[in-house]
Chains A and B, each alone.
Chain A
Amino acid sequence: MAEDGSTGLLSYRSVNVSERKNSMESVINVKSATRRFGTLVAVNGLSFEVKRGELFGLLGPNGAGKTTTINLITGMLRKDAGEIWVLGRDPKTDARAVRECIGLVPQETNVYADLSALDNMWHHAALYCKDLSGVKERIKELLVLVNLWERRREPVRTYSGGMKRRLALARALLHDPEIILFDEPTTGVDVQGKHVLWDHIKEQQAQGKTFVVSTNDMAEADVLCDRLVIIDHGTAIALDTPENLKAALGRDIVTMRTTPIVEDAEALFAGLGIQAVKRPESGQLRFEVTNAETLVGELVSRVTASHHLESIRIARPSLDDVFLHHTGRALRE
């Protein structure tokens, strides 16, 4: 270990977490960004800012405009309107400088499958590292970090999906970028692999990296993100911490299945203050209510008076409920 306590060449800036979270410095600023593909508006007046050291999420269903947003941030796509600033620079006019300080892990792992992890890392080093001295040690440190050092000489095609994503993360970190853009981190990765990857991301965030993660996995967004923007049809529909977004609903979610189906829920449960009645599946009734646990007896007695109650579930709101609340449909749809 080095005298300064760092682990050698990987001298990440060790940032105090509370200091990081209190920092108000924005590293990414997106203001009313719009991007069209023909008649399709992929990103529609999207605005958000990402603060230094934050793990920021772009949550939305497939086709919501998450990847387009990432491509706008990297400068790979031109915005049709609005402003985008990365570390105070415009990705369009100052592309080179912006690209030096970002690391991108795309949705599809783009590695040379017939080459080894070492070969892929060296190639990335040649493409991105300003200074090539010390790269050998840095590659070793990163591959050890993502638990791939033992298999460093094996062709990447022999790796599992999770290992490939870890390699992609290690590669993106190689040139020590300030911001990591991670598009769908755990798509195609098994549950165990997901947790390992999440740990690595959290670890890097603790070292001071800023992450922008796009996902349609609510659990992932909930576990990982400090703040997130929920995007639908290219528009931001909510932006806050996962806790605040869920708390903002202020109500519990009641889901029940009855025979026959309850036709007029508002009339049946009149006076109980139910809101946002939906029928997500046939035979299923879903609504929001304040303090559901105190009303559960009343809910059951009213419904069983005229229907056969097959099941009832009372839950705290999830991010899916937040999405449903704002859009009227589930995130998975």
Chain B
Amino acid sequence: MTRFYLFLLNEFKLARTAIPIHMVAILQPSILFLFLSFILVHPTFKVNVSQPLMDEGHVLVEAMEQVGSPIGADYIDPIIVDSKELGDLRQIITVKERDGVPTAVQQYGLIDSNQVKNLRNRLTAAALHLWNAELKGRALSIKEHTWLPYDAPYTVYFGMALLPMAAFVAAAIIGGVLTAQDFELKTTLEYRLSPVSPVLILGARLVRLVLSSLLSACMLLVVAGLVTGFWPGNIWRLGGVLLTIAIMASCMGIILGLLFRSTIPAYISGLSLALAGWIFGGGFALASGFGGVYERISRLTPNAHAVELCFPAFYRVEIGNPLRSALVLIVFSVISLSLLFFTYRWRVTKQAY
């Protein structure tokens, strides 16, 4: 036990050899969440509307202000501007008379199909308000029902889906860099000649990486909770899921370091693996929500299963097949551990080559 404690202590001391890497790896998911939740996944669009010269223009602005999400968040925030002040590339809505009919003309700079789709959906909702006002008794009413017990801002999902990535990226990057560094400093030779079992040596590195990984995920959990006001219900389940991801990521990180034996490729590949897992593994929406090929690809990543298992902790409802997802994560972890010991033996302790 003393020997294991010494290895573990050394693993933590090695943080001194790559302080910026540790900071990036551990803080990155929280910073990414803050950045993207404020800029990219904010529920409200600010829309430039030309100073209305017609009554219909004022009515459109009022209708836009009434469009909101089921939980009351504003969807459109019309900004009244003088169209002459805007450059050619800016997006603006102007109400003009065309062939004697008041027409809302929307002009775009660079056409971003996703943004156009989003604006179109929301403007359609605004148009519905106007239409219903005209239809009076024959007004069309749309009721939104979520299949979840309660609705939550998209940032909650976004933060939740980032958790497995946070657990993955810290261990993958730090593990890769520390292991590659051992080759660069030639300290691998110390391990190669040591009569001590690799289980102790790798065990200490794994424990240290798993702790770094869980620290990164905890930080994200706190940041996301403070931003969204939503806190997970079943923290033990969440912890169990993140633990399996952390084990997998720690193994993958060390394996990448063993394979590349150079810090920069190990860092880049660890980061790429984490990002790919996040994007394809339900980072922006549940894999089951897409179906088809995308879902099949998604289910190859541990993230997709982790997100499905984390889901009830935030939304209080089970989705998918939790037992299958748990089994997949356990199998992935066991495979990762086996691969790690195989690669370590191949690259480090192989006695004679």
Contact = CB atoms under 8 A, between A and B. Distances in A.
B193 A112 contact: no
Interface in A252-278: none
B352 A75 contact: yes
B190 interface: yes
Contacts of A119: 10, 13
A76 B2 contact: no
Interface in B1-18: 2-3, 6-7, 9-10, 13-14, 16-17
A110 B182 CA distance: 9
B353 interface: yes
A124 B6 contact: no
B196 interface: yes
Interface in B170-191: 185-187, 189-191
A128 B17 CA distance: 23
Contacts of A112: 14, 17, 185, 187
A201 interface: no
A210 B287 CA distance: 65
Nearest to A72: B352
Contacts of A123: 6-7, 10, 190
Interface residues of A, number: 31
Interface stretch (A18-26, A93-101, A232-240, A310-318): A93-101
A265 B216 CA distance: 79
A128 B2 contact: no
Contacts of A92: 351-352
Interface in A103-138: 104, 106, 108, 110-115, 119, 122-128, 132
A260 B187 CA distance: 55
A74 interface: yes
Given A77-B353, A119-B13, A128 B195 contact: yes
Main secondary structure on chain B at its contact with chain A? helix
Nearest to B188: A110
A78 interface: yes
A76 B6 contact: no
The range of chain B's interface size is: 20 to 34
Contacts of A132: 2-3, 6
B351 A111 contact: no
Contact of B10 (A91, A99, A111, A122): A122
B192 interface: yes
Given A122-B10, A125-B6, A99 B187 contact: no
A76 B191 contact: no
B189 A106 contact: yes
Given A78-B353, A106-B186, A126 B193 contact: no
B194 interface: yes
B185 A113 contact: yes
A95 B196 CA distance: 12
A115 B195 contact: no
Contacts of A74: 193
A126 B353 contact: no
Contact of B6 (A108, A110, A126): A126
A127 B196 contact: yes
Interface of A: 74-78, 91-92, 95-96, 99-100, 102, 104, 106, 108, 110-115, 119, 122-128, 132, 155
Given A74-B193, A115-B17, A123-B190, 5 more contacts: A78-B352, A99-B194, A114-B16, A119-B13, A128-B194
6 contacts: A75-B352, A77-B352, A92-B351, A96-B195, A115-B10, A115-B13
A-B CB proximity, top 5 nearest: A78-B352, A110-B186, A126-B6, A127-B194, A114-B17
